[in-house]
Amino acid sequence: MKRWLFLLAGPLLAVLVFALMRHHGPQPAFMAGLVAWMALWWITEAVPIPVTSILPLVLFPLLGIDSVPSTASNYGKEIIFLFLGGFIIALGIERCGLHKRIALGIMARVGGSSARLVLGIMVACALLSMWINSTAATLVMLPIALSLIDDDDAPEPVRKRLTVPLLLGVAYGATIGGMATPVGTPPNLVFLELWRQIYPEAPSIGFGQWMAVGLPLAILFMVVAWLLLTRFVFKLKGDTLGEADAVRERLRGLGRASVDEWLAGSVFAMVALLWISGDDLRLGEDFLLAGWRSRFGMLKGVSDAAIAVLGAVLLFVIPAGKRIRQAHDPYATHEESRTLMDWTFAERRVPWGVLLLIGGGFALAAGVDKAGLSGIIGEAMAGLGSLPMVMLIGSTALVVCLLSELGSNTATASLALPILAAMAQRWGMDPQSILWPATLAASLGFMLPVASPMQTIVFGTGRIPMQQMVKAGVWMDLIGVLLLMLFFGWG
């Protein structure tokens, strides 16, 4: 009965929002109603989440927002193949058993306490995300996190309680770490490029200048997020996956790494290294560490998605050092079991519905722009200039954060920052004072799977109920906005 109520509430909410917005014109009102409809169905799971994600394919052309070919192109974007390749590489690590060795190694070093494991994963993700794309950092760390909660020798109740906070810790750590440096996440790069375009005569924003603000913010946010995950939203105090001596004994019991583990681990390491070293890293005005894309011009078009797909293909090609037993993969054919990965295994384990979810997020963001709803939101913000600085930053950050919940953080930054740059001139204020917190707010989407690639990836494991993601995400969004008010509102 409850499901049917939510099922009907979606289109009814869309009609209500359309009625409230119709004075802005039919297309913006239609788009606002569709955003409300999809958000409600995503949150309540009135229908399967991938089904909600393909609504734009039907409703965009029906409502005159966009054509079917243009809408469908959002479901085949490059980043979707980055996810697909990353998921298959993670499955390759799992299939050969390397994930157990990595998990026990982490437990042996940081201890088996659930809270300490969450902190260790978050810090590792954040440190990676400071220097490589946050999406890549999440894909690198996810199989390690999964191996920790798939440990059959750990107590089942503890593993069950640890699953959601640990997986959310992967996404949160990567997101927060990306805020600390200019290269950590795409919205930061969008801001820096926009700054160079709109204000070519102004001093550029250097790496050190960014870190002087971004790093303290990230550290404080990380501590608060860890406490939220382990003490408040989820209760992990006192839980442990195993005593240190027992963990070390189990690690020794695995023996030497097999050829399969070495081969799968080498593919994983190669992909991670190529992700990390692909782009230039500027560590100041006078020091540039060139990536392989700029060193080798012919490889400039090789994206992170192409690298992920290359790694996935190699797993299907490289012969296994020893035949993978039928008992380990009962659905594999005789021939398939000769390589590190087989299609039967991948087909059953890759979360295909999440790929539709990602495309739905891109389609929604594009629709907001094409329907003119983004301009209406910008005009609505024009009156905020009379607010005190701290309230102006809080209001702006909250609006940008909510936009980011319904689309990619990069699209949100590309949409909001030019509008805010124009608003800053109208408000007669230093553009940096509003553009900087707005840029960081674009990374604050923690409630929905479509809010960021990091959220989508961990949700794709199928182990995080939507309600629990929303429950923790609401607090993370609010805390993030408050921290931006604290750091930039009293500058």
Residue 217, token pair as written in the block: 């913010």
Residue 219, token pair as written in the block: 């550290």
Residue 45 in this model has a pLDDT that exceeds 80: no
Q: In the chain, how many domains are there?
A: 1
- Domain-located, residue 179: yes
CA Rg, the chain, in Å? 23
Residue 156, token pair as written in the block: 């089942």
C-alpha span between 221 and 491 (Å, rounded): 18
- Domain-located, residue 462: no
Residue 44, token pair as written in the block: 């309540």
For 60, 168, 302, 367, the CA distances from 30, given in Å and listed in that order, are 9, 33, 39, 10
C-alpha span between 395 and 479 (Å, rounded): 13
Residues above pLDDT 70, as percent of the chain: 85
- Tokens 């004072």 label which residue? 433
Q: What is the pLDDT of residue 466?
A: 87
Residue 301 in this model has a pLDDT that exceeds 60: yes
Q: Smallest Cα–Cα separation from 181: which of 304, 279, 301, 300?
A: 279
Q: Smallest Cα–Cα separation from 80: which of 467, 363, 292?
A: 363
- Tokens 């794309």 label which residue? 133
The answer to whether 390 and 382 are in contact (CB under 8 A) is no
- Domain-located, residue 302: yes
pLDDT digits (tens, 9 = 90+) for 144-200: 788 778 776 667 888 888 899 999 999 999 999 989 887 677 788 778 777 877 787
Task: Give residue 56's identity as a one-letter amino acid code.
Answer: P
For 56, 87, 120, the CA distances from 311, given in Å and listed in that order, are 32, 11, 27
Give the relative orientation of helices 98-110 and 259-277 as an angle to the nearest 10 degrees: 70
3-state SS, 440-485, equals HHCCCCCCCHHHCHHHHHHHCCCCCCHHHHHHHHHHHHHHHHHHHH
Instruction: Name the band, by pLDDT with cuts 50, 70 and 90, for residue 332.
Output: very low
Q: Smallest Cα–Cα separation from 211: which of 130, 110, 275, 320?
A: 130
Q: Smallest Cα–Cα separation from 82: which of 298, 324, 364, 274?
A: 274
CA max distance for the chain: 71
What three-state secondary structure class fits 240? strand
Residue 325 in this model has a pLDDT that exceeds 70: no
The answer to whether 261 and 321 are in contact (CB under 8 A) is no
- Domain-located, residue 389: no
What three-state secondary structure class fits 319? strand
DSSP letters for 136-189: HHHHHHHHHHHHHHT-TTS-HHHHHHHHHHHHHHHHHHHHHHHTSSTTSSHHHH
For 99, 105, 237, the CA distances from 150, given in Å and listed in that order, are 9, 14, 20
pLDDT digits (tens, 9 = 90+) for 352-374: 887 887 788 778 778 877 888 87
Residue 27: Cβ within 10 Å count? 17
C-alpha span between 240 and 111 (Å, rounded): 8
281-282 and 288-289 as β-strands: parallel, antiparallel, unpaired?
A: antiparallel
Chain centroid to CA 241: how far? 27
Residue 333 in this model has a pLDDT that exceeds 50: no
DSSP β-bridge partners for residue 435: none
Residue 19 CB burial class (10 angstroms; 0-12, 13-18, ≥19): exposed
Which residues have a Cβ under 8 Å from the Cβ of 125 and sit 6 or more positions away? Answer: 137, 138, 141, 169, 170, 172, 173, 174, 177
Sign of the CA dihedral with 489 first, then 483, 445, and 91 last: positive
- Domain-located, residue 68: no
Instruction: Name the band, by pLDDT with cuts 50, 70 and 90, for residue 255.
Output: confident
Q: What is the pLDDT of residue 168?
A: 96
- Domain-located, residue 453: no
The answer to whether 393 and 485 are in contact (CB under 8 A) is yes
Residue 73, token pair as written in the block: 């192109």
pLDDT digits (tens, 9 = 90+) for 199-215: 877 776 766 678 888 99
- Domain-located, residue 267: yes
Average pLDDT on 114-121 reads 85
- Domain-located, residue 251: yes
243-247 long-range contacts, CB within 8 A, separation 24+: 243/112, 244/108, 244/111, 244/112, 247/104, 247/107, 247/108, 247/112
pLDDT digits (tens, 9 = 90+) for 460-491: 888 999 889 999 999 999 999 999 999 998 75
Instruction: Name the band, by pLDDT with cuts 50, 70 and 90, for residue 313.
Output: very high
Q: What is the pLDDT of residue 200?
A: 78
What three-state secondary structure class fits 355? helix
Chain centroid to CA 158: how far? 26
| pTM of structure | 0.69
Enclosing domain of residue 272:
78-186+200-349
Give the relative orientation of helices 432-441 and 466-488 as an angle to the nearest 10 degrees: 160
Residue 97 in this model has a pLDDT that exceeds 70: yes
